[in-house]
């Protein structure tokens, strides 16, 4: 493939749109707009903003053509691209001590082993990046095109500690970069992967103080390090203990009070895992201030619980029904208020199955990392035809494949059960349970 052949690869063309009118098809590539090579979705949107566009297209049959497009200023193309970055994704040059990719066994699909550290994906998708591979041209583009906010993996602002955590021999210049971007009006959401003995204690305090001093730092999220059983020849790290989690919770609560006084917002939050580890109730919804780092697992369980409260649960069912629900151990524990509500319904029998992660190891308890092999073991022994409710975050590739490549149909066939996947939206989840599952029981 030549450099030009990267382009914007079209995955889907929506009916009744300009893309269909132009004769575009899946597999076609848009190589240039207005004579400019299109490297990513950001550049595409800049060039597409006009009313008269010159396009160069490489069809999936290998033929190329140029086409003039006259359109309304706000008229979209009407196509979905294969990926938001059209040239090569910026790879990560770090060797983080806690990198999850390094803790993956061989045999998974190749995309799971890609270590990206691309500021464009940070802006477009909220991916966390270290900013260690930014060139002067990248910084200039961020400023000129207002690529804000960015999502930054900080881990520590102390240069020596950060270099150690990132596995870098070169000196670290994160704060210099952040101050430069901050000075040009760029904002960022930040995260720390907490590794006991490395970036906790005084180092964490310094990280908080350095970040909150920058006007552009909107939030700081702290998540505990995740360790799989595949850590041979990797640096010895420790999980966050229950006592350590309780200490961090107290520290964050104090920092939130300080930040409320200084900035009028809490600024720093913990991911849900800390409260599960500490065996402590989740904070109330108002403390999350709109869930600015929901995708990072900060307030995910609280948000789901609040959404389920909007659904009016019936007092009694017209006929007895048994529900079997499975999830990762963290979700089973964190969603206890929901289970209590369901158990209060007369005629509803609820069986919960906390699924240990037999694949990545007992230290991984989130639902999204459960595999088909975990289900084959964890759901064995259920009666034939049993319907099992599972979170849809477990499946990928249009909802028919688990992380390890096992098909949903393989699990159903092997165990003689039916898997029903529930959405992450709490209201939709409850509607699916009561409007569909109970009605068809």
Which DSSP string do the residues of 101-160 spell out, in sequence order?
Answer: GGGPPTTS-GGGG--B--HHHHHHH---B--TT--HHHHHHHHHTT---EEEE-S-SSHH
pLDDT of residue 321 exceeding 50: yes
Domain-ending residue, one of 297, 319, 345: 297
Confidence band of 312 (pLDDT split at 50, 70, 90):
very high
pLDDT at 3: 41
CB 253 within 8 A of CB 280: no
* Half-sphere exposure (Cβ direction) of 119: Cα atoms closer than 13 Å: 24
What's the confidence (pLDDT) of residue 1? Answer: 41
Is residue 93 domain-resident? Answer: no
Domain end, chosen from 81, 111, 128, is at: 81
402 and 395 in contact (C-beta within 8 Å)?
yes
User: Above pLDDT 70, what percent of the chain?
Assistant: 97
pTM, to two decimals: 0.91
pLDDT in tens, 248-285: 999 999 999 999 999 999 999 999 999 999 999 999 99
- 395 and 369, same structural domain? yes
Does 244 share its domain with 326? Answer: no
Asked whether residue 114 falls in the same domain as residue 247, the answer is yes
Residue 96 lies inside a defined structural domain of this protein? no
Chain length of the chain: 441
Q: Which residues pair with 401 in a beta bridge?
A: 396, 407
Residue-level pLDDT at 439 = 58
Instruction: Quick: pLDDT tens for 142-190.
Output: 999 999 999 999 999 999 999 999 999 888 999 999 999 999 999 999 9
Tokens of 169: 């021999």
Does 156 share its domain with 216? yes
Residue 43 within any structural domain of the chain: yes
Average pLDDT over residues 132-142: 95
Same structural domain for residues 325 and 259? no
107 versus 190: which is more confidently predicted? Answer: 190
pLDDT grade for 405, boundaries at 50, 70 and 90: confident
Q: At 8, give phi and psi (nearest 5°).
A: -95, 100
pLDDT at 67: 92
Q: What is the CATH number of the domain that holds 135?
A: 3.80.30
Does pLDDT of 440 surpass 80? no
Task: Fill in the DSSP letter of residue 392.
Answer: G
- Could you tell me if 281 and 311 lie in one domain? no
Q: How many CA atoms lie within 13 A of 175 on its CB side?
A: 17
In this structure, the answer to whether residues 151 and 272 fall within a common structural domain is yes
The tokens describing 370, both together, are 């459960």
* Domain end point (choices 297, 329, 363): 297
What's the distance, CA 54 to chain centroid? 36
Q: 52-58 and 268-270 as β-strands: parallel, antiparallel, unpaired?
A: unpaired
Residues 163 and 287 in one domain: yes
pLDDT confidence bin for 441, thresholds 50/70/90? low
12 and 108 in a common domain: no
pLDDT of residue 433: 87
In this structure, the answer to whether residues 118 and 28 fall within a common structural domain is: no
Q: Which two tokens stand for residue 332?
A: 């089973």
Asked if the model's pLDDT at residue 2 lies above 50, the reply is no
> Is 87 domain-assigned?
no
Output the pLDDT for position 437: 59
Helices 174-183 and 136-144, interaxial angle, to 10°? Answer: 30
pLDDT at 340 over 60: yes
The structural domain count of the chain equals 3
Considering the chain, what is the average pLDDT of its residues?
A: 93
Q: Which of 88-97, 109-118, 151-160, 218-227 has the lowest mean pLDDT?
A: 109-118
Residue 417 lies inside a defined structural domain of this protein? yes
Task: For residues 46-52, give the mean pLDDT.
Answer: 92
Q: At what angle do helices 300-309 and 336-343 cross, to 10 degrees?
A: 20
Query: Quick check: is 89 in a domain?
Result: no
396 — pLDDT class (breaks 50, 70, 90): confident
92 within some domain:
no
Q: Are residues 209 and 353 in the same domain?
A: no
The residue-averaged pLDDT of 33-57 equals: 93
> Are residue 25 and residue 170 in the same domain, yes or no?
no
Q: What range defines the domain where residue 207 resides?
A: 101-297
Q: What is the pLDDT of residue 399?
A: 73
91 found inside a domain: no
């Amino acid at each position: 493939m030549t450099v030009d052949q990267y382009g914007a690869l079209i995955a889907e063309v929506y009916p009744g749109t300009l893309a269909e009118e132009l004769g575009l098809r899946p597999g076609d590539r848009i190589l240039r707009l207005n004579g400019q090579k299109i490297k990513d979705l950001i550049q595409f949107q800049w060039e597409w903003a006009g009313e008269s566009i010159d396009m160069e297209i490489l069809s999936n049959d290998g033929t190329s053509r140029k086409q003039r497009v006259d359109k309304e200023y706000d008229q979209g193309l009407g196509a979905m691209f294969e990926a938001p970055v059209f040239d090569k994704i910026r790879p990560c040059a770090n060797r983080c001590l806690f990198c999850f990719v390094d803790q993956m066994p061989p045999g998974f699909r190749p995309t799971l082993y890609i270590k990206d550290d691309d500021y464009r994906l940070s802006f477009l998708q909220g991916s966390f990046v270290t900013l260690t591979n930014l060139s002067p041209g990248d910084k200039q583009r961020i400023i000129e095109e207002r690529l804000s906010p960015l999502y930054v993996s900080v881990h520590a602002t102390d240069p020596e500690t950060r270099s150690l955590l990132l596995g870098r021999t070169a000196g670290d210049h994160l704060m210099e970069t952040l101050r430069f971007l901050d000075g040009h009006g760029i904002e960022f959401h930040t995260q720390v992967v907490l590794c006991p003995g490395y970036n906790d204690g005084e180092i964490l305090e310094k990280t908080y103080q350095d970040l909150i001093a920058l006007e552009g730092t909107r939030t700081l999220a702290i998540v505990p390090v995740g360790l799989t059983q595949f850590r041979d020849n990797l640096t010895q790290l420790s999980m966050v203990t229950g006592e350590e989690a309780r200490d961090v919770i107290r520290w964050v609560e104090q920092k939130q009070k300080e930040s409320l006084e200084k900035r009028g917002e809490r600024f720093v939050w913990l991911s849900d895992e800390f409260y599960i580890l500490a065996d402590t109730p989740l904070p109330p919804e108002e403390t999350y201030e709109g869930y600015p780092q929901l995708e990072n697992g900060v307030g995910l369980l609280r948000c789901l619980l609040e959404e389920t409260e909007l659904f009016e649960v019936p007092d009694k069912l017209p006929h007895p029904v048994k529900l079997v629900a499975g999830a990762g151990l963290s979700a089973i524990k964190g969603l206890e208020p929901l289970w209590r509500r369901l158990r209060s319904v007369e005629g509803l029998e609820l069986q919960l199955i906390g699924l240990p992660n037999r694949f990545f190891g007992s230290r991984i308890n989130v639902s999204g990392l459960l595999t088909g092999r975990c289900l084959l073991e964890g759901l064995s022994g259920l009666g034939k035809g049993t319907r099992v409710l599972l979170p849809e975050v477990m499946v990928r590739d249009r909802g028919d494949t688990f992380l390890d490549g096992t098909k949903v149909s393989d699990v159903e066939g092997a165990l003689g059960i039916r898997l029903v996947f529930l959405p992450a939206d709490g209201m939709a989840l409850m509607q699916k349970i009561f409007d569909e599952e109970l009605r068809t029981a």
